[in-house]
Amino acid sequence: MFRHRVAGLHKLLEKAFGISSTNIISPTRTPAVNGLFSRHLLQPLPFSPFRSFCGNHISNFNSVSLQMINYALGLARSQKTEAAYAEALLVLEQGLTSQSQEGTEATENTKGVVLLAISSLLSERGNTDEAMRALLMIQDLSCSSVGVRVAAMEALIGLNLELGLDDTSSVLADKCLKLLEHEDMEIGDEYGRKVFSARSKAIKGLVELVHGDMESAKGFFEGCQTESCIGNASLSYGVFLHAKRDFNAAKELYQKVIAESSEKKDFSDPHDFGACNMSPEEVLLAAMCALGQLESHLGNFGDAEEIMTRALKKTEELFGTHHPKVGTVLTCIALMYRQKATAERSSSLLIQEGLYRKVIDLLKAPALETDDAKADVEHVRENVDRRDIVALARGGYGEVLCVQQNRNAEGERMKRWAEDWWRNRRLSLAEALDISESSKVLVVDTRICRAL
């Protein structure tokens, strides 16, 4: 289970950020990752005081290493085999070993982006523990650009949110806000400072949104209307506006993110580096899925279906057809069909049931029978990935069954199970499934697989 504790990662968190937390995951390592650690290529670098320069120009990075990154990620993502995954990690390992030990700006920026790529690859394959380790090591690169550091912090916060480690995410978000407060930090242009400030505030706003504190989130998103709000910051602000039912403003931001991200490649914009579930690819997927949900909330079901179908295809292309992220997108599609059926007074029970069953299978949801043993249920509940989505899928499935007289009892049981698992602080499961104009709006963020 993903919540196995790892003392080494605990120590890294405590060293890098002063965080004392046992909420660290530890999936099984692959042989290729073991190789990285056994060769000491992913061990923490000597700690030194924070100092950062702006990586505004691609000349601040080793071009050969950037080519190796693009090759490795392309290989792993196109073939999606264990062999391709291992080869990609070895290529990235070579990208690290090819750098000198001198702490120059170009060297440490290059090491930083290689570690961002390593963490992305590990995260995509479900090795979240190792992805976090790579992100933490970036904090010891004393001369790396602020863009690399902010990207690492965003990804670290995003992974913690995806795992449901909200308290740790909040502490890390506070640390991210302080990255720009160091007096000796030099940023080459005012635009860069504004971009990184907006990203730091937006990730904190997203954490507050997860906590259900709309008023606090609003304070961090103020000023995000400027041109310096790009990528993750724009998307997070759009999700906030969406949840507030400011549909027109949210739609503009979603469309902006999609337009910006569609042609973007990894590490092509030093102002918008990303990794793991905050990478440009995941931002694009999340923006598309959020736009599809918004169109559904507006009653534009044809547009919603078309957009979310494209998002599903891209998710399968990036992660493979059996990845849990696919289950998150399918849940959004199932909810869209439910809203459409209600609005048009039609029936799509078979479609909804099929989608929910597939989601439950992809997310490996525990059997309903575990609900009979109270002592075991809490243990199982706390050790299930993407718990929000599991509860949504089971709750929606239960409502589908309740419509059928001969399956009403089964449906009610599913609904009770889902309500017990639901943990959203802003709205109840009944409110999340309600689509009336007066109801609160549910937004599923596929980056972190959370219901907001």
Reported as a single tens digit per residue, the pLDDT across 369-379 is 654 444 455 54
Which residues, at least 6 apart from 415, have a Cβ–Cβ distance to it below 8 Å? 394, 395, 398, 399, 402, 429
**CA 289 to centroid of chain Cα atoms:** 13
231-256 per-position pLDDT tens digit: 889 999 999 999 999 999 999 999 99
For residue 63, the model assigns a pLDDT of 77
pTM of the model: 0.84
- What domain range includes position 349? 301-451
Residues 187 and 81 placed together within one structural domain of the fold: yes
| Run of H or E residues at 450 | strand 450-451
For residue 266, the model assigns a pLDDT of 56
Structural domains of the chain, count: 2
Structure tokens at 363: 């997310």
Residues 200 and 331 placed together within one structural domain of the fold: no
For residue 272, the model assigns a pLDDT of 75
Name the average pLDDT for the chain. Answer: 81
Mean pLDDT of 413-422: 92
> Is 95 within the bounds of a domain?
yes
Place of tokens 């976090």: 132
> Is 251 within the bounds of a domain?
no
> Is 374 within the bounds of a domain?
yes
Domain boundary among 208, 239, 267: 208
Rounded-to-integer distance, Cα 119 and Cα 154, Å: 12
301-339 per-position pLDDT tens digit: 999 999 999 999 999 998 989 999 999 999 999 999 999
Domain boundary among 144, 178, 208: 208
> What CATH code is carried by the domain that includes residue 128?
1.25.40
Pair 110, 99: CB distance under 8 Å: yes
**CA 75 to centroid of chain Cα atoms:** 22
Domain boundary among 172, 193, 208: 208
**Does 266 or 68 have the greater pLDDT score?**
68
For residue 66, the model assigns a pLDDT of 82
Find the length of the chain. Answer: 452
Pair 185, 146: CB distance under 8 Å: yes
Residues 191 and 323 placed together within one structural domain of the fold: no
Mean pLDDT of 50-62: 44
Band of the pLDDT at 39, cuts 50, 70, 90? very low
For residue 218, the model assigns a pLDDT of 94
Pair 146, 178: CB distance under 8 Å: no
107 by DSSP, 3-state: which?
helix
> Is 249 within the bounds of a domain?
no
